[in-house]
């Protein structure tokens, strides 16, 4: 859900605040709030960044919510039975310190802004996180790239910026959050370009000891442990600006669980990995194909430190674009998110033809 609020407001607003409970199936009375949330989040995202391609259906949320590795909390304000404000939050379970940061997003219906509803739902989820021992909070907001002129707010690293008077910016700062990082969301038209990607992939292929492997939906058993080890390095090795992102522990069991739930939810994954001669995963990139969408989006992409400088990022991305053209030629765009300070990966994206689409801001407090 893209954060869409409207700054500070003294009026605490009307409506009933309550948790939005998870449910393992939809179309029953108990799932009504979850279904309302899915539709609400889709509309907020469409208004905020101009597309609902990144939204989740209620059916997906019902399946993906049953995650033993992530704690999820949602709160909503209902006015006359209609959801008008909501927050979604999550954090890693089982951390050794018991205090991994909570990550959250807030949205308010346009017709109900300036009534303090964003503050109410954020108060609720922050209190819930404190009760669970979370020591700090990370707030996500999303913004269009054509966001006007005026005074700008910049994170500690990178060259992108936000308008200081944007409603989501004013809201975050009024709550004591500091801007820690900006991610550039970019889009690449891919319809009918499979042959071009195949040619480019052949041009960058090398015989330097790495082999590029592809798998769909489920990781081959022989790569499970190495892939889990690589994914565990994502937070440590990816640029994080001034944000204290929580570590993620991955093992073979977590990989298997995630992939099984994704298949059940109708989400397809195309994973490309660079494999060393001794079977280590030197890098990987994942494309997700959500049901009912026109595009695909790039999840984690990482080349581990000791293996950088071999062109693996470009080779893996091209291999995955070829795989996408073969597996799902009806998908017309690919979306990706990269830290604004991650110059090498942004350069790869520009060379492939990605163009900025929107900005995701990460704020932290505590």
Could you tell me how far CA 156 lies from the centroid of its own chain? 21
Is residue 153 a part of any domain in this protein?
no
The pTM assigned to this predicted structure is 0.92
User: What's residue 94's pLDDT?
Assistant: 73
pLDDT higher than threshold 90 for residue 165: yes
Is residue 261 a part of any domain in this protein?
yes
pLDDT-based confidence at residue 208 (cuts at 50, 70, 90) = confident
Instruction: Kindly give the interhelix angle for 343-352 and 312-327, rounded to the nearest 10 degrees.
Output: 40
Cα–Cα distance between 107 and 303 in angstroms, integer?
34
pLDDT-based confidence at residue 206 (cuts at 50, 70, 90) = confident
User: What's residue 6's pLDDT?
Assistant: 57
Cα–Cα distance between 207 and 10 in angstroms, integer?
64
- CATH code for position 211: 3.40.630.30
Q: What is the mean pLDDT of residues 205-218?
A: 92
Q: What is the mean pLDDT of residues 149-169?
A: 92
Is residue 158 a part of any domain in this protein?
no
Domain that holds residue 219: 187-360
Based on the domain organization, do 107 and 230 belong to the same domain? no
Based on the domain organization, do 212 and 332 belong to the same domain? yes
**Those residues with Cβ within 8 angstroms of residue 138's Cβ, 6 or more apart along the chain or in another chain:** 101, 102, 103, 104, 180, 243, 244, 245, 362, 363, 364
pLDDT-based confidence at residue 12 (cuts at 50, 70, 90) = low
**Those residues with Cβ within 8 angstroms of residue 208's Cβ, 6 or more apart along the chain or in another chain:** 310
Pairing of strands 137-144, 102-108: parallel
Q: State pLDDT tens for residues 70-110.
A: 999 999 999 999 999 999 999 998 755 557 899 999 999 99
User: What's residue 46's pLDDT?
Assistant: 96
Say how many domains are in the chain. Answer: 2
Domain boundary among 135, 161, 176: 135
Q: State pLDDT tens for residues 21-78.
A: 999 999 999 999 999 999 999 999 999 999 999 999 999 999 998 899 999 999 999 9
Q: What is the Rg, in whole angstroms, of the alpha carbon atoms belonging to the chain?
A: 20
Domain boundary among 75, 108, 135: 135
User: What's residue 10's pLDDT?
Assistant: 47
Q: What is the mean pLDDT of residues 239-256?
A: 93
**Those residues with Cβ within 8 angstroms of residue 53's Cβ, 6 or more apart along the chain or in another chain:** 293, 294, 295, 297, 333, 335
Query: Which candidate, 114, 115, 136, 111, places its Cα nearest to that of 126?
Result: 136
Query: Which candidate, 143, 183, 120, 134, places its Cα nearest to that of 336?
Result: 183
Q: State pLDDT tens for residues 111-131.
A: 999 999 999 999 999 999 999
pLDDT higher than threshold 70 for residue 7: no
Q: State pLDDT tens for residues 293-315.
A: 999 999 899 999 999 999 999 99
Q: What is the mean pLDDT of residues 250-276?
A: 97
Does residue 218 contact residue 259 with C-beta atoms inside 8 Å? yes
Based on the domain organization, do 200 and 347 belong to the same domain? yes
């Amino acid at each position: 859900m893209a954060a869409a609020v409207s700054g500070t407001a003294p009026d605490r607003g009307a409506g009933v605040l309550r948790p939005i409970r998870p449910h393992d199936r939809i179309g029953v009375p108990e799932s009504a709030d979850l279904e309302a949330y899915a539709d609400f989040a889709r509309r907020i995202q469409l208004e905020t960044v101009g597309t609902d391609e990144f939204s989740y259906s209620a059916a997906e949320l019902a399946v993906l919510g049953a995650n033993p590795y992530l704690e999820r909390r949602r709160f909503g304000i209902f006015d006359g039975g209609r959801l008008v404000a909501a927050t979604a939050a999550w954090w890693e379970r089982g951390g050794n310190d018991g205090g991994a940061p909570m990550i959250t997003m807030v949205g308010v219906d346009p017709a109900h802004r300036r009534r303090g509803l964003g503050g109410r739902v954020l108060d609720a989820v922050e209190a819930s996180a404190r009760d669970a021992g979370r020591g700090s909070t990370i707030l996500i907001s999303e913004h269009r790239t054509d966001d006007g002129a005026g005074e700008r707010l910049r994170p500690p690293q990178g060259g992108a910026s936000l308008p200081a008077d944007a409603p989501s910016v004013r809201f975050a700062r009024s709550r004591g959050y500091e801007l820690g990082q900006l991610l550039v969301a970019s889009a690449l038209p891919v319809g009918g370009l499979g042959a071009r990607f195949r040619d480019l992939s052949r041009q960058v292929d090398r015989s330097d000891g790495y082999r590029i492997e592809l798998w769909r939906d489920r990781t081959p058993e022989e790569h499970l442990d190495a892939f889990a080890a690589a994914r565990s390095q994502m937070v440590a090795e990816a640029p994080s600006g001034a944000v204290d992102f929580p570590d993620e522990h991955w093992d073979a069991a977590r990989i298997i669980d995630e992939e099984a739930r994704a298949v059940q939810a109708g989400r397809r994954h195309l994973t490309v990995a660079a494999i060393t001669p001794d079977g280590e995963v030197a890098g990987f990139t994942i494309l997700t194909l959500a049901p009912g969408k026109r595009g695909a989006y790039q999840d984690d992409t990482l080349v581990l430190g000791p293996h950088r400088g071999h062109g693996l990022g470009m080779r893996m991305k091209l291999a995955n674009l070829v795989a996408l053209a073969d597996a799902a030629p009806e998908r017309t765009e690919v979306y990706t998110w990269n830290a604004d300070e991650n110059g090498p990966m942004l350069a790869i994206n520009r060379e492939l033809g990605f163009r900025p689409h929107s900005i995701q801001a990460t704020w932290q407090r505590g």
